Structure 1
Amino acid sequence: MGFFDKIKAGLKKTTDQLVHEIKRIVTGSPRLTGHSLEELEAALLGADLGVAMTQQIIAAVKQAYETQGSAGLDVFAIAAREVAASMKVPNPGLKRVPGLTVVTLVGVNGTGKTTTAAKLAWRAQQDNLAPMLAACDTFRAAAVEQLKLWGQRLQVPVIAGAHGADPAAVAHDAVTAALAQKKDYLLVDTAGRQHTRHNLMQELQKVHRVIGRKMEGAPHEVLLVLDGSTGTNALLQAREFSKAVPVTGLVVTKLDGTSKGGMVVAIQKELGLPVKFVGVGEQPDDLQPFDAQQFAEALFMIKG
């Protein structure tokens, strides 16, 4: 199964309901009325696309209807075009700076940060770059062990501390080691702190301050990892983490089977954060740079 097919399968629950509703609305009447526009708006909001994106699509549909009439009105194509244009990322993938590039991964427990860090290390290897992993989720022994296992599997060095160690100290040691060993990427897995716990957010900020003191300009990327199946809660997480640390992009995991795929659009639209990667499975190559066109076409079932 190709990556586009995996995205399509992952968005199936969202797409099936959304496409069914749109077809019902646009085929039920030969012309676009205030009532049908309201129904279309409700369908888009029901798919978690968010208010801003929904309004943008409705405006584009109205404009197309006014200029082309109902005969030339393709709501699916219009919606996909608006989503793709809004979510287009000029340079998808990880930022790269001369020498060492430091990337931190933040987010709550269960979103897949640890696995994402390992998959990004694998991607760096595919580009003939040398990665290193830092296990800064010292509050969960399982997270440290999981990252070490990935390190062994990928033959990537992992800097870790004892269970309960100061995460900032581990981050400091990791930057020191990555610089000394002339690594290209340092991928820092942070604790899955709940975004409502203020003291844990302060701990996350401390990790970033220590990294910045050790290497000017670092971290160069702060990726917020979100579980694509959590809907509105993912938007709340994105808001809070963006307040605490300078998030540069999003990684959306678990798009394989989610019914909340539209939330990806809502988050990007509200916060202006580019979606850098999406995950559709467990294998290393199941994490891919985000393609806005593919995503939009899958969401509105434009292709096959």
Structure 2
Amino acid sequence: MTERQNKQNPGLEHNVTKARSGDREALEAVIQAIRNDVYGLALRFLWHPQDAEDATQEILIRVITGLGSFRGNSGFRTWVYRIACNRLLTLRKQCAEKGAMRFEEFAGDLAYQDPGGVQQSPPGSEELLLLEEVKIGCTLAMLLCLDREHRLAYVLGEVMELSHQEASQVLEVSPAAFRKRLSRSRDKIKTFMLARCGLVNADNACRCRNRVSLAIDRGRVNPDQLLFASSMEVARRFPAVLKKIRQLEATRRAAALYRSYSPPEPATSFVSWIRAVIDDPQAMDVEGVSGRE
């Protein structure tokens, strides 16, 4: 939910006001308006879609229960992201985070290439989705090489493109402190991808097609249950997107690659979950709503 989206959706602030007065339809509209953005933040932070969905549910409950404390001293989006980041920072580490590698280990892992992975050229539908799965899973896993504070700074500032002022309010740090975190995380991701990733730098040896078989053999990709690649249209369109990314200055390509990925909507059952939670006050009995203004 960018500033541009806020301006294009003046009804959101109106619905927030109505929701604070007890209007359930307005509350549902507010949650529907922010859920995908919260999920996208959680997914980039946690890597696994199920972990991201679980975190998103917790965050949205905190938004709902804390809505009465929102006074408008900051933007509504800033307030929502503050709640989200506070929750993400205090979550116990999930499987993906526990198994995260350091950049040096990740570089060693990428050194293994299997040219026998995807041989068909051009790749067929199944191969395209596998390539998309490897690409997304790998690039999101790179974010796990950053510690939590720097990961959030990178996602907020570089991927979601929040202003330094807004991101510092979200993280409750000074703008100078946020700029330092963003600079460090940006340099680490940029340096690593320019040196190792064949998407960002075509001179690098690593190719997604050479990682497919390895990913399947190591249990990182299940061809029968893909985690990230859900759209054949997006997979077919990516080569054209990549061509544009490679035309950018080298220092801008890593961020452009991350921005090119739009997480799909959460599971369809999520809509019914929202309605059930709104209709059941006991389901919203949570502690530690941290979105103070």
TM-score (norm 1): 0.33
Higher strand residue share: 1
Higher helix residue share: 2
